[in-house]
Amino acid sequence: MKAVLRWIALAIIAFVGLQLFFVGRIAAMAVIDPESTTFQRSEAWRIATERDRLRWRQQWVPYERISDNLKRAVIASEDGSFANHDGVDWDALEKAWARNAKAEEFAARRAQLAPSRARPPKIVGGSTITQQLAKNLLLSGERTLLRKGQEIVLTFALENALTKQRILEIYLNNVEWGEGVFGAEAAAQHYFRKPASRLSAYEAARLAVMLPQPKRFEKTPGSGYLAGRAHTIVARMRDAELP
């Protein structure tokens, strides 16, 4: 019995220690720009091993040198209530879970009726910008309830330790926009040969639309969906509230 209690105590201490480590890293980000994220490091390893060379583009730029067009486009596309929520949009999360449950149920029925035409269900997120940042900064990409719970804890830590402006600044400087292309400055130079500060509304909207699947859209720049969705985001940008 004592051995079991000892292992439980060690597990609790390890868990608390991990949370303190995460909180410490987040608190430091109030004044220190993160050099890389967990997602970026895993991508760097994958690219280097698959390609035998590392193609990498990233350049940190301060919040003031990122076009307001891009800030508004990303908020309009990814998280319309970013400036006002506490880190988690519970309504959006609930709707996403309901859609995913229906998609999984449909995929299971289709697999039973036509196994040869079975496809994995299309999973939608519902995560806010702060949640996406928490996941990319410190966590793995696995989809489990435990990982989601940790993501929400880190989301609240980010919201309490950093300003909304700082959260958006870190997000825009680290988010993926193609294979080995990270951050607003690298994306603006890669796709439009100009700095992030000079992006037009339509250029910013095209970048924002790419975010859920950047590697896919990098290979299909002439996608009709990409162009049409970009025009929709441009129309929404005027209502996007900046922090």
Q: What is the pTM of this model?
A: 0.85
Q: Which CATH class is domain 35-89+126-237?
A: mainly alpha
Give the residue extent of every domain in the chain. Answer: 35-89+126-237
pLDDT mean over 127-131: 93
Residue-wise pLDDT tens digits, 190-201: 999 999 999 999
Give phi and psi for 57, each to the nearest 5. -130, 120
Please report, rounded to a whole number, the percentage of residues in the chain having pLDDT higher than 90. 56
Which two three-digit tokens encode residue 127? 């995560």
Give the pair of three-digit tokens for residue 124. 């939608």
Contact 19, 121 (CB under 8 A): no
Tens-place pLDDT, residues 43-82:
988 888 887 777 889 999 999 999 999 999 999 999 999 9
Q: Which of 53-62, 95-104, 116-125, 158-167 holds the top average pLDDT?
A: 158-167
